[in-house]
Chains A and B, each alone.
Chain A
Amino acid sequence: MATDFGSFFLNSLPNLLNGLGYTLLLTFISIAVGFFLGITLALGRVYGNKIINGFCVGYIELIRGTPLLVQLFIIYFGLPSVGIIFSPLQAALIGLAINSGAYQAEYLRGSIQSVESGQMTAARSLGMNKLQSIRHVILPQALRISIPAWSNEFIYLLQYSSIAYIIQVAELTAEGKFIAAHTFRYLEVFAMIAVIYLVLTIVSTEIIDRIAKHLSIPGIGAAKRVSLRDI
């Protein structure tokens, strides 16, 4: 049995690694694009005028108020009817990025608002304009505060990128389903996949924790990671 599983594992490995590659691609690109989207939206919410703020609130509420799966279906199956056609991978990247952007915006906003107001006052008093104050004083502090929440978002994306299998992206879960459907060894395949996700999660959490520690402000200490349930 053990050798049988061993050879089954080795035979499955190329497909699983291929899927893993797509999973990492989806995760990294959508967290990065979502990050810049999130910062823009968060700054718009905190510092924007009524129109900009309203636009940002509308975007965030729309995206957070609808299921990711529905968003993916609209992008992949819906938009072609108005002539906009994406490949499965493109559709998944777009969907995950705009989704993650909305969530990242909300906790970045929280982080920005948790920087004491005196920091902005002091920056402006020195003669910095608003943009300089945000860039040199507010964001360096807000981003540090948001690392624990960002760590959760990263894990969330890593795992929820599996939803892309529904629109035929050959990421890790899709590859597993493919192998299982041909071998009927569902338990082994998905157990392997679960272990891969688990290892990825543990490793990435550890890496982000180390980054947080490295960036922590002496005398204040690194922000603690909160559990997924706290969000």
Chain B
Amino acid sequence: MAMLEVKDIYKAYGNVEVLKGVSFTMEKEETKVIIGPSGTGKSTLLRCINQLSLPNKGQVWLDGEEITNPKTNINKIREKIGFVFQDFNLFNHLTALRNVSIGLEKVKRIEKEAAQTRAMQELTRVGLEAQASQYPAQLSGGQKQRVGIARALAMDPDVILFDEPTSALDPELIGDVLDVMKSLAGKVAMLVVTHEMGFARNVADEIIFMEGGVIVEQGPPKEMFTNAKLARTREFLGRIGALYGEEETGG
């Protein structure tokens, strides 16, 4: 049984159908990257997985539990699904340390000192132990996003969903965030929406190409980059590769 199973998800906003039957599975500690043109429903798909958006149809299963079932305690489930946002969404009124520890304190009900010790470990893991007492407004974009990743990691999630985690960053700050993400590969399952083709090629176990609310093609990076079955996939990868650092995708 797959750790995460997404079954035939449909989502519409008014008359606009954003997702038209998306299905895929993820195993423990696997990294999958979702690529595709903007407006294709990639972010909506992530939000449907942790039920920030409720799908109109379809099911999501995590560890054998159907989380789309209205009877499921969604707050309990969300503890197991980390979410890293494009625009960070750090809690503005809390220090970096408290941003990471608050979920442990208030959701997991871990005693404050233990929670902060754990939070400090996660900040160290993303290279920000020196910034623990700083507030989000005092951090650079790259630092904010690494705090965001530490905040997700601290909850010991089964899977972390990354919604274009580097899109809001200055180019020179992207590397630090991608390095942190690379260091997590194989340790925690990651589902990453991104245009960073270098990351997709080097880190992903599988690439999912979405367009028009459906999965067009999916496969291991090597196959997708060198030998995609569909002309549309080849065309998109060629174009996006030219835009977003083809030179990185060589390795």
Contact = CB atoms under 8 A, between A and B. Distances in A.
Nearest to A122: B89
B79 A122 contact: no
Nearest to A137: B91
A141 B93 contact: yes
B78 A218 contact: no
Interface string B47-88: 000101000000000000000000000011111011101010
Contacts of A144: 93
Question: Interface size for chain A: under 10, 10 to 19, 20 to 34, or 35 or more residues?
Answer: 20 to 34
B54 to A, nearest CB: 13
Contacts of B102: 126, 136
B92 A220 contact: yes
A182 B135 CA distance: 60
B137 interface: yes
Interface stretch (A80-88, A127-135, A197-205): A127-135
A6 interface: no
Contacts of A128: 75, 103, 106-107
A118 interface: yes
A121 interface: yes
Contacts of B202: none
Interface residues of B, number: 28
Contact of B155 (A126, A140, A141): A126
B78 A122 contact: no
Contact of A219 (B77, B82, B87, B136): B136
Contact of B78 (A116, A124, A136): A124
A217 interface: yes
A119 interface: yes
B174 to A, nearest CB: 20
A116 B92 CA distance: 10
Nearest to A217: B93
Contact of B75 (A121, A127, A218): A127
Contact of B52 (A116, A124, A141): A124
Contacts of A219: 134-138
Given A121-B52, A219-B138, A127 B87 contact: no
A125 interface: yes
Contacts of B92: 116, 119, 141, 217, 220
Interface in A156-186: none
Nearest to B47: A121
Interface string B91-126: 111000000001100110000000000000000000
Given A136-B106, A219-B138, 17 more contacts: A118-B87, A121-B89, A122-B91, A125-B50, A125-B78, A125-B82, A127-B76, A127-B155, A128-B106, A129-B75, A136-B102, A217-B137, A218-B137, A218-B138, A219-B134, A220-B92, A220-B137
27 contacts: A116-B89, A118-B85, A118-B89, A121-B52, A121-B85, A121-B89, A122-B90, A124-B75, A125-B50, A125-B52, A125-B83, A126-B78, A126-B103, A127-B79, A127-B107, A132-B106, A132-B107, A136-B102, A136-B106, A141-B93, A217-B92, A217-B135, A218-B135, A219-B136, A219-B137, A219-B138, A220-B92
- Top-8 shortest CB links A-B: A219-B137, A122-B89, A127-B79, A118-B89, A125-B83, A126-B103, A219-B138, A127-B78
Interface of A: 116, 118-119, 121-129, 132, 136-137, 140-141, 144, 217-220
